[in-house]
A = this chain, B = another copy of it.
Amino acid sequence: MSYFPEVQDPVPCEGPDSRNPLAFKYYNASQLVAGKSMADHLRFAVAYWHTFKGPGTDIFGSATFERPWNTGATPLEIAEKTLDAAFEFVHKLGLQYYCFHDRDIAPEGETFAESCDNLDHIIALAAEKQAATGIKLLWGTANLFSNPRYAHGAATSPDAHVFAYAAGQVQHAIAATHRLGGENYVFWGGREGYETLLNTDLKAEQDHLARFLHLAVDYAKSIGFTGQFLIEPKPCEPMKHQYDSDAAACLNFLRSYDLMDQFKLNIECNHATLAGHTFQHDLSVASAAGRLGSVDANRGDMLLGWDTDQFPTDIYDAVYAMLVILRQGGLGSGGLNFDAKPRRGSFDTVDLFHAHIGAMDTFAHGLLIAQALIDERPLDDEIDERYSSWNDELGQSILAGNESFDSLEAWIREHGEATPRSGRQELLENIVNTYIR
Q: Are A148 and B62 in contact (CB under 8 A)?
A: yes
Q: A344-B151, A405-B219 are in contact. Are A427 and B21 (CB under 8 A)?
A: yes
Could you mark each residue 106-130 of chain A with 1 if its beta carbon is under 8 Å from any beta carbon of chain B, else 0?
0000011100000000000000000
Q: For A343, what are the chain B residues with a Cβ–Cβ distance below 8 Å? A: 195-196, 423, 425-426
Q: Which range holds the interface residue count of chain A?
A: 35 or more
Tell whether A179 is near chain B: CB-to-CB under 8 Å: no
Q: For A433, what are the chain B residues with a Cβ–Cβ distance below 8 Å? A: 313, 315, 358, 361-362, 365
Tell whether A203 is near chain B: CB-to-CB under 8 Å: yes
Q: Are A199 and B423 in contact (CB under 8 A)?
A: yes
Give Cα distance in the complex from A203 to B281, angstroms.
Answer: 12
User: Most B CB atoms within 10 A — which of A303, A307, A425?
Assistant: A425
Tell whether A178 is near chain B: CB-to-CB under 8 Å: no
User: Most B CB atoms within 10 A — which of A202, A219, A241, A253?
Assistant: A241
Q: Are A437 and B437 in contact (CB under 8 A)?
A: yes
Give Cα distance in the complex from A398 to B56, angstroms.
Answer: 30
Could you mark each residue 224-267 of chain A with 1 if its beta carbon is under 8 Å from any beta carbon of chain B, else 0?
00000000000111101100011011011101100000000000
Q: A146-B60, A160-B395, A417-B165 are in contact. Are A428 and B204 (CB under 8 A)?
A: no
Tell whether A10 is near chain B: CB-to-CB under 8 Å: no
Q: Are B245 and A280 in contact (CB under 8 A)?
A: no
- 28 CB-based A-B contacts, threshold 8 Å: A21-B427, A59-B238, A59-B306, A61-B238, A64-B420, A113-B413, A151-B344, A151-B423, A152-B423, A158-B390, A160-B390, A160-B395, A164-B394, A167-B405, A171-B408, A196-B425, A199-B382, A199-B425, A216-B405, A218-B404, A245-B248, A276-B303, A313-B429, A346-B424, A346-B425, A351-B424, A357-B430, A365-B433
